[in-house]
Amino acid sequence: MRHLICDKSARLDLPHLVSQPRRCLIPVMRDYLNLHDARHNSGCHMHAEHHDLIAILIIKSRNGSLPTHHNPRRAVRKQDFQPQMEMAMQSLKYLGMMFPLWLALAASAAPSIQSEPIQPIAKAVIRNPAMVELGKKLFFEPRLSKSGFISCNSCHNLSTGGSDNLSSSIGDHWQQGPIRSPSVLNSSLNVAQFWDGRAKSLQEQASGPIANPREMASNHVLALDVLRSIPAYVNEFDKVFGNRNVSMQQVTMAIAAFEETLVTPDSRFDLWLKGNKQALNAQELRGYQTFKTAGCVACHNGPAVGGNSFQKMGLVSPYQTSNPAQGRAGVTGKDADRMAFKVPSLRNVALRAPYFHDAGAPTLEAAVATMGKLQLGRAFNQQEIGDIVAFLHTLTGKQPRIVLPVLPASSNDTPRPTPFN
């Protein structure tokens, strides 16, 4: 792959790279970083324009196209994909587990907070309170399910870290779901939704479970019939969207708007990042150092400490599981994507054992040990595991304060739930 880089200037042959398949990109990035590390030692720095171009390249390779904002009424502007670019930059920095050298590089040029591979989570900015309020109602609305019993909150329980914390979720008629429910907290920071990234946005994700026969088991026609039969809902959709039609696009847009508010700022780690050096104790700091030097940060970086790339589960040695999920390959159809899953965010991770897509690790300690072996080829000792787990506990942020919505009553015309047939 070295031929893709113009050795002399250490610049990338970008036109050539754009045409390459995704699997070729990672080794190129690694070589690029190696080269720059060598050059850094001789006083040469990377060019800023390359960062932007490579970030766009990574986004294209992940999504097939540049991302568009979930609000279709807005034109796509550069700012709209700035967060993804920043996340992609983070991925780029740590691909190939080049962290230690890169840290030195970054530290030489940037203030403290920017030199860390993890950034603080920003507080939620609520632009449309009425839409968020409607979205909250819909998130807690069991009548969007066939049974009238299951709401978004059933499997993404906001009392318990935004997830049900079961090995696999419970769907209509107590069907066992195929995979461990991911947390909805900070999910707006994910590069895509679901473990396999099959939904590009929160809005796209939200429509899935309603109509999935193994989850809420309704369908979009029935779900809309329910909402349209309830005058208070029709009035609220009218207030938010300016019409009384109630469409699935409106439903999912409102749910996504609510979910975008579900961020967890002000963890102890974030306080430390922002300069409160008393926020972490010695063990937690040691754990963070190990997390960085061991290479965990190669995938778990950015504001969400993950969530921004797909990686093969079992990079160094294969992951043994009875769960049939094949990850990203189910979306791309590519054999190279087999067992590639979205790297989960480690924000609030201490709230939601068990871990991994198959819930194969019952505790944080087990998860850290397994990740070390399978992804990094490294057997952490007990102290290292304890230290990393102590650090992970500092990622628990301020949980969203949710006033339980009071849902409008069904009318006589509302289709009744049918839980038992």
Q: Which of 36, 284, 299, 345 is nearest to 161 (CA)?
A: 345
Interacting positions 202-231 with a second copy (CB under 8 A): none
Q: Which of 359, 377, 360, 379 is nearest to 369 (CA)?
A: 379
Q: Which of 311, 392, 298 is nearest to 346 (CA)?
A: 392
Please, which residue, 154 or 332, has the CB nearer to a second copy? 154
Please, which residue, 70 or 352, has the CB nearer to a second copy? 352
Shortest distance in whole angstroms from residue 380 CB to a second copy: 17
x-or-dash pattern for a second copy, window 291-330, by CB under 8 A?
----------------------------------------
User: Binders of a second copy: how many residues, by CB under 8 A?
Assistant: 43
Binding residue for a second copy (CB under 8 A) from 42, 65, 382, 412?
Answer: 412
Residue pair 373/317 in contact by the 8 Å Cβ criterion: yes
Told to check if 235 binds a second copy by CB under 8 A, we report: no
Residue pair 5/35 in contact by the 8 Å Cβ criterion: yes
Q: Which stretch binds a second copy (CB under 8 A): 67-75, 244-252, 301-309, 405-413?
A: 405-413
Please, which residue, 30 or 398, has the CB nearer to a second copy? 398
Shortest distance in whole angstroms from residue 386 CB to a second copy: 12
Residue pair 256/249 in contact by the 8 Å Cβ criterion: no
Please, which residue, 42 or 159, has the CB nearer to a second copy? 159
Catalytic residue among 215, 259, 260, 284: 215
| φ, ψ at 303 (rounded to 5°) | -60, -30
Binding residue for a second copy (CB under 8 A) from 3, 8, 65, 420?
Answer: 420
Interacting positions 349-368 with a second copy (CB under 8 A): 350-354, 362-363, 365
Q: Which of 47, 46, 28, 50 is nearest to 96 (CA)?
A: 28
Angstrom CA distances, 316 to 37, 76, 307, 362, 378, stand at 24, 39, 21, 22, 9
Shortest distance in whole angstroms from residue 241 CB to a second copy: 22
In terms of Cβ atoms closer than 10 Å to its own Cβ (0-12, 13-18, 19+), residue 159 is exposed
Euclidean distance between CA atoms 151 and 140, whole angstroms: 5
List the structure tokens of 178.
């195929």
User: Any catalytic annotation for residue 215?
Assistant: yes
Interacting positions 91-150 with a second copy (CB under 8 A): 140, 142, 147-149
**Is 224 strand, coil or helix?**
helix
Told to check if 402 binds a second copy by CB under 8 A, we report: yes
Residue 327: strand pairing partners: 340
The secondary structure of 173-214 as a DSSP string is GGEEPSSPPPP-TTGGGSSSBSTT--BSSHHHHHHHHHH-TT
**Is 417 strand, coil or helix?**
coil
In terms of Cβ atoms closer than 10 Å to its own Cβ (0-12, 13-18, 19+), residue 4 is middle
x-or-dash pattern for a second copy, window 153-192, by CB under 8 A?
-x--xxxxx--xxxxx-x--xx-x----------------
Please, which residue, 314 or 419, has the CB nearer to a second copy? 419
Please, which residue, 58 or 392, has the CB nearer to a second copy? 392
Shortest distance in whole angstroms from residue 353 CB to a second copy: 6
Shortest distance in whole angstroms from residue 63 CB to a second copy: 33
Please count the other Cβ atoms lying within 10 Å of the Cβ belonging to residue 279: 17
Angstrom CA distances, 145 to 32, 51, 166, 173, stand at 50, 45, 20, 11
Q: Which stretch binds a second copy (CB under 8 A): 217-225, 249-257, 322-330, 395-403?
A: 395-403
Euclidean distance between CA atoms 266 and 44, whole angstroms: 37
Shortest distance in whole angstroms from residue 244 CB to a second copy: 22
Shortest distance in whole angstroms from residue 402 CB to a second copy: 4
Please, which residue, 112 or 418, has the CB nearer to a second copy? 418
Shortest distance in whole angstroms from residue 376 CB to a second copy: 23
Please, which residue, 254 or 299, has the CB nearer to a second copy? 254
Residue numbers at the binding site for a second copy (CB under 8 A): 140, 142, 147-149, 154, 157-161, 164-168, 170, 173-174, 176, 350-354, 362-363, 365, 399, 401-407, 409-410, 412, 416-417, 419-420
User: Which residues participate in catalysis according to the annotation?
Assistant: 215
